Structure formats: C-alpha cells, structure tokens
Amino acid sequence: MNQEQAVDTDLHFHSALRTTAKVVSIVFHPLFVPVYFGWFLIYVLRLFPELDSLQKSLRMIQFVLIYTLFPLATVLLAKALGFVQTVYLRTQKDRIIPYIATMIFYFWMWYVSKNLGFPRESIVFSFAVFLVTGIGVYVNSYFKVSMHALSMGVVITWFLLASLTSAINLGPYLSIALFIAGLVCTARLINADHRPFEVYAGLFLGALAQIIAWIFI
C-alpha cells in the first residue's frame, strides 16, 4: 500500500466523536506540547526560582517562539511557495522540509538552554525534543510516523524517569500525561490519520529519544 495515501479504515465513528478527536489533535499538537511542558516546569515545578514574574513570562515567550511560531511559520511559508500540498502535512513528502527546519529550531533551543544554565530537567527535555525530531526525519523515509505520538512518547517517558529519580511526587502528573497520551493517540486513530503501527512506533521512538537524552545529558 502506498504510504503517501490517506489511511483507510473500516471503522465508522459518529461525527461528534470525530470532531472531538480533531479538537484533541489540535489542542495537543506537537507544536504546542513543548510549550505546555515549559509552562509546567516554570509554574508548577518552579524549576526557575531565580526568575521574577516578568522574566518567567519572557521565558514562556521564548518557548512559544522557538517551539511553535518558528516551525509554524516554516510550514506556512512552505505551503505558500508550493513545497507542501497542505499545512496538515498528510504525506511523507510534505513533512521533509518542516521536519528539517524544526530540527534546526529545536537544536537551537537545546543549545541555548544548555549554555544559559537551565535546570537539567529542562535541558534533557529540550534535547529529547531535538533528538526525536531527527529520528522523525530518518524514519519519514520509510513510513509516516505519528508526530503526535512522538511528542507524547517524549513527555510520558520524561515523567516516568523523573518519577523514578526525583524526590518529588510526580505520580499524579504521570497519570495525567498517560491519560492525555491515550486521548491523543486514540484521536489520531479515530480520524484515520495514521495506522496503529505508525502511532505505536511514534510512542516507542519518542520514549527512546527521551531515554537517550536522560542518560547522556
């Protein structure tokens, strides 16, 4: 079967359920997930105690610019220039340029966070995000891995590893992350955006990227 084609499914879901699945996919889009995670590190775990309110807001703006707006602008520019067919990046070919550009932005984020002395938890996450994007570039040559699942794999594995190594009780947050990951992956399958293998592979590769980052950073 041609990997470039849309995923066919024999299952039919109610339109309300499919709409809900689309909303979930948008809210937890891979371009937004790192920003949510950055907010969690700053305002929930309070890993940047040296920052005042204004500096925390500026740090969040930095996360939004690098993790979301720059990659999004790249996709929109690629669409305007005719390099991609749709901003939804439904084919492997459409994903090549955005993947490579996003990998550069995410490398920049990791490099900056490392040199500015961010907490290790933040540096590890930013490196995992960069690494999983690079993995996405590679596997995109073979199949259309779920980018949503890649991001979820990174997040839930971060919470799992942090729960095992930190004195802070992160169990409730891990449970929430697992619940959200389940929602997101189910949403991708309900809307037939991916085959099950592409979703499971995304979770596995995301987890692998986070484990590598945790060990070597």
pLDDT score of 30 more than 70: yes
Q: Based on the structure, what is the number of domains in the chain?
A: 1
pLDDT score of 162 more than 50: yes
Looking at the domain assignment, is residue 6 inside a domain? no
Looking at the domain assignment, is residue 90 inside a domain? yes
146: helix, strand or coil: coil
Looking at the domain assignment, is residue 7 inside a domain? no
Looking at the domain assignment, is residue 2 inside a domain? no
Domain ranges, residue 170: 15-216
Q: How large is the average pLDDT for residues 200-214?
A: 96
The confidence score (pLDDT) of residue 2 equals 43
Residue 29 zone, left/alpha/beta (φ > 0; ψ -120 to 50; rest): beta
Q: How many CB atoms lie within 10 A of CB 202?
A: 29
Residue with tokens 């891995």: 145
Which tokens go with 178?
A: 């697992």
Which tokens go with 176?
A: 């929430």
Looking at the domain assignment, is residue 53 inside a domain? yes
- Give per-residue pLDDT as tens, 52-111: 999 999 999 999 999 999 999 999 998 888 888 888 787 888 888 888 999 999 999 999
Looking at the domain assignment, is residue 10 inside a domain? no
Looking at the domain assignment, is residue 112 inside a domain? yes
Looking at the domain assignment, is residue 9 inside a domain? no
Closest alpha carbon to 34 in 118, 128, 101, 98: 128
The confidence score (pLDDT) of residue 168 equals 84
Q: Which amino acid is at 13?
A: F
The confidence score (pLDDT) of residue 5 equals 44
Which pTM value belongs to this model?
0.88
